[in-house]
Structure 1
Amino acid sequence: MQYPRRVLWISISTSILLFLVTSMFYIVSVRSGPILLSTKTDPVPQKPGASGPPDISTEPPSQNPSPWLERNATRTLVIAQLQAEDTSWVNTLVQEDPYLSSAIYVVDNTSAPLTVLVNKGHEVMVYLTYIIDHYHVLSDVSIFMHAHQITWHNNDFLGSDSAQMVRHLKSKYVLQNGYMNMRCHLQPGCPDHIHPYVGKDSDDILNVPEAGVIGIAWGQLFPHDPVPSVLSQPCCGQFAVSADRMRRVPQQHYVDYRNWLLATKLDDRLSGRIWEYVWQWLFTGESEFCPVETICYCEGYGICFEPSEYQLYFQIRDEARKLEAEVQELQPNEAEPTTQERIADLKRKINDLHGRMNKIQSKAMDVPR
């Protein structure tokens, strides 16, 4: 009498198990993963505490998707830092973005988790060290930047803020192009900036000291390539590169470049400035790399201006700055009634100009993309 009861329990248990498996399969099959960017490399290991890998659907798409819409691009923010500099903004970014990791090299602390052999060449030693050490496990996009968050050489329309530049940076643009200078404004550095030479005289030498040594350095770094007649790209040693583009250069070459940096008798300032106008050659093969500013902003950061309004913005800004300078000149005598009136009038004009600038900027930030 026990045998039929056992068969009944087995049948009931099997039915329940099949129902649970079928339900789980249905739930998984209807989940939709994020729209993600295609890349040619595997994702870097996830940060501790991450909830799991991206949920990439295996269902065939209804249409042929763009090759750039398969998975999110992983990114690493590589920072060259002095121990006294504050990089908390980097930690905030990493906490906000599950696809972003960081590699902060403290160049003047040999006990830091990430550091360099010698603090030499400013950020160049950090950048080369990172590429050498991570050559086979690079993120899809690597972003190379300085430690300070707010600085004049960042982009005006992102508050001169490094964190905002990283937040707005379009990985797709970097992946499609391979290399992007993080600064959109051409000056200083573009166009027609440095004219390398190996002689004793140069028209550049007073304003561009590296012009006097870059010709010789070029022959040491790139012995098989003739010295270009001109080297140009926007300053100041901050850029994003795809893993594919970095791996087009053999790893040993990066080791050789770092060995050159270790051995050169040039001081930090000169060796660092030389590389500031060499990166674009290394990653693009172009001696002059001066993109149109509005294209850099729109395609690289999603901030899209009408060309005429972009120029108008800077005309208005120049006018506002002239008036601000006049206010500063008048302030020592502002106790005088006529001076007070003039200062009040100037401030009204300045506020009006700032309002016009804000209107142009807000419009660019709101353009559908």
Structure 2
Amino acid sequence: MDIRCKRNIFLATCIILIFLLLSWRLRGSNVNLLPQSQRIHLDNSTPPHPPPTTSTSTSTTTTTTQNTTRTLILAKLSEEITLWADELAESDPTFSLAIYTVDIDDPSTNPNLTSLPNFKNYNYTVPANKGHEAMVYLTYIIDHYDDPNLSDISIFMHSHLRTWHNNDFLDSSSATMVSRLRSSHVLKTGYMNLRCHHQPGCPNHIHPRLSDKDDDLKIPESAIIGDSWTELFPERKRLPEVLSQPCCGQFALSKATILSIPREKYIFYRDWLLQTDLEDRLSGRVWEYTWQYIFAGREVFCPDEYECYCQGYGVCFESKAQYERWFEMRREVGRLEREVQNLEDDGEGDGEKQEEGKQSIPEDERERKKIELQQRIEKLRDQMDREKELAVTGGRDGKGW
């Protein structure tokens, strides 16, 4: 082989090697050109507690809001009436009930329950009446964790039809809250606190690291939350700085969220409730500000009120500013009503003031002021009613603004 031929072969070989080397380097650099969400990370560190809950279903079948199954889990005493829940279940084939009567050991031996036509909804019990609703919630999850028919959404609530800690724009009605609850939002978020209003509970509620006597007086559970937290989450090396979420222990979970935590963990939590020496009211209140950490992985969970109403219930004001103005009007109505009451009290005390030589407002002037105030109140109430009605119907197009 002559020298020229050998030179050509050598040059061709070099060109091929250079091409292969450049190709390899370009492929390596392209990995870093991918979006952050598409890059592969070899990270063996322990994920934060709890694991993410963004999936909407653990099965291969896609869950839609049309075929979503829901179960309402209620904690009640024997004297409390829950017909409102029965009526909801009767009208919806995808909706089921699990009503726990915590002060009856065996529902099947209680004639007041067995005589009910829908006794199957009431045939549930707890190992002990401790920890208020927390015992019911944990017991339901433990008993149904491996049930293939575990609903796509589980709704955990108290038994009252109406109570102060329900949502104002839904007439403080549990039935309305359940019927308006948007399944798509629960499936998307995994955990939803059913109360939209921040007070009480947000945004800066309990301080486990501090010993604050003012906190202890106003929030009894703050005195014991630190020790309780350490017992419940021994893997945590430090106490949270703040624990906050809207009160009062009512929330909805997706099936995926429930199953993202091992069943043994729920048993551990319930065992803590069964064994703690804390008073019932305190052990239950500990859980009121713990659920958001277990199911959302957040110590402070205070979603925007306006978005909670619109995304969670389809109650959509035109804007957040309009939502806030509505409450400004309500505060103004309250102030004006107090003025009216003061005028009425002033009129009733005319005789005493005359005896004491004090000046009172003339009756005709007092009546004129009352009429003026009442007209202002009526005007504000009319505007509030119009805006509320439009928001509750979902905005101008029926689906939100």
For residue 204 of structure 1, give the secondary structure of its aligned residue in structure 2: helix
Q: Which amino acid aligns with 2:373?
A: L
Q: Which amino acid aligns with 2:131?
A: G
Matching of residues 104-183 of structure 1 within 5 Å? 104-112=99-107, 113-137=123-147, 138-183=150-195
How far the C-alpha of 1:362 sits from its partner, in A, is: 2.0
Q: Which whole-Å deviations, capped at 9, do the CAs of 1:235-269 have from their partners, x for residues lacking one? A: 00000001110111111111111111111111111
The structure-2 alpha-carbon separation of the partners of 1:83 and 1:337, relative to structure 1 and needing over 3 Å to count, comes to farther
Distance in 2, Cα, partners of 1:293 & 1:268: 30
Q: Which amino acid aligns with 1:352?
A: K
- For these two proteins, the number of residue pairs brought into alignment is 308
How far the C-alpha of 1:111 sits from its partner, in A, is: 3.3
Q: Which whole-Å deviations, capped at 9, do the CAs of 1:185-226 have from their partners, x for residues lacking one? A: 1111111211103x7555522322211111110111111023
Runs of 4+ in 1 over 4 A off after TM superposition: 199-203, 332-338
Percent identity (aligned): 50
The structure-2 alpha-carbon separation of the partners of 1:260 and 1:74, relative to structure 1 and needing over 3 Å to count, comes to same
Structure 2: unaligned runs, 5 residues or longer: 1-55, 108-122, 349-362
How far the C-alpha of 1:227 sits from its partner, in A, is: 1.8
How far the C-alpha of 1:325 sits from its partner, in A, is: 2.4
Q: State the partner residue of 1:187.
A: 199
Distance in 2, Cα, partners of 1:274 & 1:116: 19
Q: Calculate the TM-score normalised by the size of structure 1.
A: 0.79
Structure 1: unaligned runs, 5 residues or longer: 1-37, 44-66
Distance in 1, Cα, partners of 2:88 & 2:65: 23
Is this contact kept in 1: 2:169–2:392, CA < 8 A? no
Q: Alignment partner for residue 317 of structure 1, among 330, 337, 341?
A: 330
Matching of residues 24-63 of structure 1 within 5 Å? 39-41=57-59
For residue 205 of structure 1, give the secondary structure of its aligned residue in structure 2: helix
Q: Alignment partner for residue 344 of structure 1, among 371, 395, 401?
A: 371
The structure-2 alpha-carbon separation of the partners of 1:346 and 1:224, relative to structure 1 and needing over 3 Å to count, comes to same
What root-mean-square deviation, in Å, do the aligned CA atoms of Structure 1 and Structure 2 show?
A: 2.0
The structure-2 alpha-carbon separation of the partners of 1:208 and 1:309, relative to structure 1 and needing over 3 Å to count, comes to same
Q: Alignment partner for residue 223 of structure 1, among 231, 234, 239?
A: 234
Distance in 2, Cα, partners of 1:128 & 1:42: 27
Q: State the partner residue of 2:358.
A: none
Distance in 2, Cα, partners of 1:119 & 1:341: 58
Q: State the partner residue of 2:268.
A: 256
Distance in 2, Cα, partners of 1:280 & 1:361: 29
The structure-2 alpha-carbon separation of the partners of 1:330 and 1:124, relative to structure 1 and needing over 3 Å to count, comes to same
Q: Would you say 1:353 and 2:380 are equivalent positions? A: yes
Q: Alignment partner for residue 363 of structure 1, among 368, 378, 390?
A: 390
Q: Calculate the TM-score normalised by the size of structure 2.
A: 0.73
Is this contact kept in 1: 2:65–2:183, CA < 8 A? no
The structure-2 alpha-carbon separation of the partners of 1:279 and 1:94, relative to structure 1 and needing over 3 Å to count, comes to same
Q: Alignment partner for residue 329 of structure 1, among 342, 362, 365?
A: 342
How far the C-alpha of 1:121 sits from its partner, in A, is: 1.0
Point out which structure has higher relative CO (alpha carbons under 8 A, 6+ apart): 2
